[in-house]
Structure 1
Amino acid sequence: MWAFLGRSECILCLSSALCAMALLSNDQLPRLNQTHLTPLLLKIRKVGLEVNGSQFTLEGFPFRIISGTIDYFRIPRNSWRLSLSKMQACGFNTLTTHVPWNLHEPAVGQFYFIENVDLLAFISMASEMGLWVILCPGPYIGSDLDLGGLPSWLLKDPKMKLRTTYKGFTKAMNRYFDYLIPRIAKFQYKKGGPIIAVQVENEYGSYYMDKKYMAYVKKALVSRGINELLMTADDGANLKKGHLENVLVTLHMKNIKKETYEDLRSIQGRSPILMMVYTANSFDTWGALHQVGDPQILMKNVREIFNLGFSLNFYMFQGGTNFGLIGGSESSEGHTPVVTSYDYSGLVSEGGGYTPEYQEFQHFFHSVIDFQLSVQPKATLMFAYQPVMLLHFMTLWEVLPYLVKTTKSSKPLSMEQLPVNEGNGQAFGYIIYETKIFHGGLLSSRGHIHDRGQVFLDNNSVGLLDESNNELLLFKDLSKKTQILRILVENQGRLTSGQDINKERKGLTGDIYLDKSPLRLFKIYSLEMKKYFIQREFPKFWKTVTSPVQGPAFFLSHFKAGDPPKDTFIKIQGWGKGVISINGRSLGRYWNIGPQDTIYVPGSWLHPGVNQIIMFEELRGGVQIHFTNKAHLGH
């Protein structure tokens, strides 16, 4: 997510808004009362969500948006209905969700809207739970995803200018919207569906590389049938750059000052204010401290927001998990990759548990709105399975000869340039560059390794190249004429935002040098860690683990679950760095530098009886796998 101001600053900006509100209206902003308008009860559909002076109206009645964000692709599908019912029971009337282009069109022209990314099923469930929907279809959504949710195959074009009217980008966007928009248009309010508003792009004011772009995206939405209220969302410093004529401006809780409301008035006069992103916290990154907010200040801020008559979207109501390797990186201090958990201090935890803040919000909402509580959904119960004592392993070097396809190239190719996945390149995971060397010397990447490259000579680890270390001295074995040099490069997540996303190729993005001479004749292996790769039968070379094994290596184990299986967490104690999959589905990456040291395992991804775990460990493997019923996300 976006960096945002501190809690104390947040109180100051909200307090200053009390006087700033006079700039928006000559009379006192009326206190809005919640009505009983829900998708389940409202049968007559004539007038959707509208701006009426300083308030929203729905079907002509005053309406306060009390929204929370749940991104469906971060929650196991079998848990969607339960998560939405918890939102409704808390007092929220609206769901906000983002649509990740890269997960829906992972290859050019191949659209994927099933299983855990069945967007239409998720929208339908929200309606059944009595929730309205604010949809954020992008094409860029941010959300701390790899490339902000844009597909990496866009970067095959060396001239690509993401989020602009560059023809290479708009052609791809139009193909995607041709498929997506007519399908979601059927769920709009005026057609009997729950969608009451649609966001145009996301925080474009902080990017702003093309003045014509936002109008282009708006036209692309409207021309394909979107006719509900449109809105933009920007932080306080970038409202003017990101807004569109006749489109509602909403605020992200960042850089808000008294001047923000002056800018807002100059743009759209007297209007309702929607805090489109109010957040308890921020995301965690590997190697940093766990982000923890102050619940008392959070509640104080929300009370002020309500007293001011603002509407609210709480980011995140339930954050969930960056399953697979979908998390991105931020760039405040080089690349800092987002951890696997996207708990985000949501009102509902990553695994579905209620937090104390949930109870406070529920009590507050029920005290200020006319709302009748339905049956309180049960919290998701976690279970600690017995430790796995028997593991098998196989080194990465033993697996390489059995990979289906490798690429031979004179020069290094980045992930995006690889002729894999039907020419769409490689999106996530690892890539191995193999060549022969005839002498030792100084190995130099000159900044061309993205993001983290482990270097091996004849299968022996000799060092690391990354953003902070561009050189490594190689000592040749004089008893051999040649040695095999391999570099295992990990994509730790493309940048989620900023103008540098146009440069976000991964792997080796240029030449690598040995004593100032560029190395040539590479054999390149793609280790994308996709489901089909993890599920395939490796050769029967598995050996029993009796002591810690030096990686990189694959580890295989099994454990038994009851009927029905229960959610759990895998503890990563005793392990170094790598990726875990369960029954062929990738749970995400782990890393012993923290702050996160448990990995969430959805019970719905387990089978009654025997379940298979495969771990790819880069550094040093453990001898057991432990489970726990509690998340440990850091201190």
Structure 2
Amino acid sequence: MPRLEIADDGFRLDDRPFRILSGALHYFRVHPDQWADRLHKARLLGLNTVETYVPWNLHAPRPGEFRMDAGLDLPRFLDLAAAEGLHVLLRPGPYICAEWEGGGLPSWLLADDDLVLRSRDPRFLRAVDGYLGALLPPLHRHLASHGGPVIAVQLENEYGAHGDDTAYLAELAALLRRHGVDVPLFTCDQPADLARGGLDGVLATANFGSRVSSGLAALRAHQPKGPLMCAEFWIGWFDRWGGIHTRRDADEAASELDRLLAAGASVNIYMFHGGTNFGFTNGANDKGTYRPTVTSYDYDSLLDEAGDPTAKYAAFREVIARHAPVPDEPVPPAAPKAAHGAVELPYTASLLGQADALGTPEKADRPLTMEELGQSFGFVLYETELTAPGPAVLHAERVHDRAQVFVDGQPVGVLERENHEHALAFTVPRPGAALTVLVENQGRVNYGAALHDRKGLLGRVTVDGQPPAAWHSRALPLDRLDPLAFRPTGPEAPPVGPAFHRGTFTVAGPADTYLHLDGWTKGLAWINGFPLGRYWSRGPQTSLYVPAPVLREGENELTVLELHASTGRHVHLRDTPALGATEE
């Protein structure tokens, strides 16, 4: 593929004027068997480019380890984009925000409590060097300079909203070049942050979703020459637990796109297709109050969570056709969805009762954080002994993020970071009673000052003002459920406390479906071992997307971890999603 050039009057490709018409599509939020379908629909929209972030934390789950397989096979994703005739904008971070766990920064960076993220801290730069050294060499053949689809690479991500250390950006640029990136670099920032987030010699782009004229004017004032580009043209938004499902009018968003293209600017539509925060991968925000993001990353995008074209897709395609060629090919209709009805979950495994099968406790004089336990996702189970019977008060300085408290296995309450809760009163039934605290990582903060977001019980933890003599801290990443021993659930003895529930269902042929958990409270779900993500009756989302490739013809296994209680033993597989009420 030809190389991209940045000229005073705009982009040039193969020495011809070129406008980037791009859409955001994160390979790590889409089942890999569905990548080709989403890329095809990007081309049919009239796009000539797709953009993707790269999540450092998934590719490097532990120091010295690097994965690029299965759903993380970025080279395959780039090959599929090239086969579809699409260019690629690659955004490797190291920080990506993206409403993704920790903004893509691996949790093991937080093992050093004083390490300064997104800075010239030598420990951080050494880690970034190792990351780029593992990521980039396998991608060299995918750079446009080697005939591949990647025409440009982003430097950091909205750094101007975080800091103004130009020397830090220069260090990152040098690392990208040292590891073989020889295509143009660019930065992206919101209009007010352009001066803080830019680097001389690197193309600046702006992020906005409305007020197109003022956004482009700010970019031109900051950068008098060169292409005008909106690197994140926000056409929707993400949802948080306890909020509403965010929607944006299709015609209004399309009208803003028309203004942007009429001004001659290039664009990256954020998001073209949002996808899903499978498993534990959602991020969170904390601007004084912690707010975790939901499992669905539908984002009110041009393609919905299942990859089907929306009304917004049709409106945007019409706008793009006024400014650029659009393929004269029919857009595929919505893929068929299956409704398998009620699924009974007649087998149960207690989380507390089978903790030994899920993780090994470590003894210390205080609760250990997830990061000290070498853990990224999931839960930590803390256990200590209560010496004196009678009324007692548990006080935790910082709960990150949600703690369920048990005495002798019986639930006595919950402490939530989101509600700024720190203390819980209960009665100790006997000397030597067991105090158990199950803490869920609900998503590391992905934006702002709280980015250094350790998980577990942090700071001083006391019972009646005194720290217990010893704690056992057990990592429960729940990345493997094989060790669990399930038994039939007896009607006379329903499980108390967190429990896994399992059942099977049969399908004639795989098709997308949606898992609805009516009457269930909070937890996670897996189908055939694939982690669908979190559910919570708090909403707005009350169903989970099940990609067709997760299913198999014949019998399929469904596992639900319910942290509290349900009104029955059934869940439902329906052919429509439930993403929640919207604000009118």
TM-score, structure 2 normalization: 0.95
Match of 1:615 in 2: 560
Alpha-carbon distance change, 574 to 301 in structure 1, aligned in 2, over 3 angstroms: same
Contact 2:164/2:196, CA 8 A, preserved across alignment = no
Match of 1:632 in 2: 578
Alpha-carbon distance change, 392 to 284 in structure 1, aligned in 2, over 3 angstroms: same
2:512 partner letter = D
Q: Aligned to 2:176, which of 221, 227, 232?
A: 221
**1:580 aligns to 2:529 (yes or no):** no
> d(CA) in 1 for partners of 2:100 and 2:219?
29
Match of 1:521 in 2: 470
**1:555 aligns to 2:497 (yes or no):** no
Superposition deviation, residue 209 in structure 1: 6.2
Match of 2:448 in 1: 498
1:427 partner letter = S
> d(CA) in 2 for partners of 1:634 and 1:499?
30
Alpha-carbon distance change, 326 to 442 in structure 1, aligned in 2, over 3 angstroms: same
Contact 1:237/1:256, CA 8 A, preserved across alignment = no
> d(CA) in 2 for partners of 1:569 and 1:413?
37
Superposition deviation, residue 371 in structure 1: 3.5
Alpha-carbon distance change, 405 to 446 in structure 1, aligned in 2, over 3 angstroms: closer
Write the deviation string for residues 527-586 of structure 1: whole angstroms up to 9, x where unpaired: 1121xx22x1423544356897543111011111123x1110000111000010111111
Q: Aligned to 2:228, which of 273, 278, 281?
A: 273
**1:469 aligns to 2:421 (yes or no):** yes
Match of 1:132 in 2: 87
**1:59 aligns to 2:4 (yes or no):** no
Superposition deviation, residue 628 in structure 1: 1.0
TM-score, structure 1 normalization: 0.88
Write the deviation string for residues 63-114 of structure 1: whole angstroms up to 9, x where unpaired: 1111000000100010000010011011111000000000000011111101
Match of 2:126 in 1: 171
Match of 1:430 in 2: 379
**1:538 aligns to 2:490 (yes or no):** no
- Residues 354-393 of structure 1: matches in 2 within 5 Å? 354-393=309-348
2:16 partner letter = F
2:463 partner letter = L
Which deviates more from structure 2 when the two are superposed, residues 330-339 or residues 566-575? 330-339
Write the deviation string for residues 402-451 of structure 1: whole angstroms up to 9, x where unpaired: 33522122211000001xxxxxx110111110011012444343432111
1:451 partner letter = D
1:497 partner letter = Y
Alpha-carbon distance change, 469 to 388 in structure 1, aligned in 2, over 3 angstroms: same
Identity across aligned pairs (percent)?
Answer: 36
2:170 partner letter = A
> d(CA) in 2 for partners of 1:255 and 1:386?
42
Q: Which runs of 5+ in 1 are unaligned?
A: 1-38, 40-44, 419-424
Superposition deviation, residue 379 in structure 1: 2.8
> d(CA) in 2 for partners of 1:218 and 1:98?
17
SS of 2:570's equivalent in the other structure is: coil
Match of 2:277 in 1: 322
Contact 1:442/1:471, CA 8 A, preserved across alignment = no
Q: Aligned to 1:459, which of 406, 409, 416?
A: 409
> d(CA) in 2 for partners of 1:209 and 1:302?
30
Alpha-carbon distance change, 226 to 601 in structure 1, aligned in 2, over 3 angstroms: same
Alpha-carbon distance change, 86 to 428 in structure 1, aligned in 2, over 3 angstroms: same
Instruction: Write 1 or 2 for the structure with the bigger share of strand.
Output: 2
1:481 partner letter = P
Match of 1:4 in 2: none
SS of 1:186's equivalent in the other structure is: helix
Contact 2:349/2:501, CA 8 A, preserved across alignment = yes
Superposition deviation, residue 59 in structure 1: 1.1
Alpha-carbon distance change, 546 to 222 in structure 1, aligned in 2, over 3 angstroms: farther
Q: Aligned to 1:594, which of 533, 536, 539?
A: 539
Contact 2:250/2:315, CA 8 A, preserved across alignment = no
> d(CA) in 1 for partners of 2:531 and 2:40?
27
> d(CA) in 2 for partners of 1:331 and 1:397?
30
- Residues 104-183 of structure 1: matches in 2 within 5 Å? 104-183=59-138
> d(CA) in 2 for partners of 1:120 and 1:60?
27
2:428 partner letter = K
> d(CA) in 1 for partners of 2:410 and 2:436?
9
Superposition deviation, residue 286 in structure 1: 0.3
Alpha-carbon distance change, 545 to 222 in structure 1, aligned in 2, over 3 angstroms: farther
> d(CA) in 2 for partners of 1:571 and 1:426?
30
Match of 1:14 in 2: none
Alpha-carbon distance change, 370 to 254 in structure 1, aligned in 2, over 3 angstroms: closer
Alpha-carbon distance change, 545 to 247 in structure 1, aligned in 2, over 3 angstroms: farther
Alpha-carbon distance change, 406 to 175 in structure 1, aligned in 2, over 3 angstroms: same
Superposition deviation, residue 524 in structure 1: 1.8
Write the deviation string for residues 251-281 of structure 1: whole angstroms up to 9, x where unpaired: 0117969776565345431222111111221
Match of 1:102 in 2: 57
Contact 1:396/1:552, CA 8 A, preserved across alignment = yes
SS of 1:594's equivalent in the other structure is: coil
> d(CA) in 2 for partners of 1:254 and 1:210?
27
Q: How many residues align?
A: 577
- Residues 298-447 of structure 1: matches in 2 within 5 Å? 298-418=253-373, 425-439=374-388, 440-447=390-397
Superposition deviation, residue 160 in structure 1: 0.8
> d(CA) in 2 for partners of 1:99 and 1:309?
29
> d(CA) in 2 for partners of 1:341 and 1:49?
34
Write the deviation string for residues 141-197 of structure 1: whole angstroms up to 9, x where unpaired: 111111100100010112211111111111111111111112222211121111111
SS of 2:180's equivalent in the other structure is: coil
Contact 2:409/2:497, CA 8 A, preserved across alignment = no
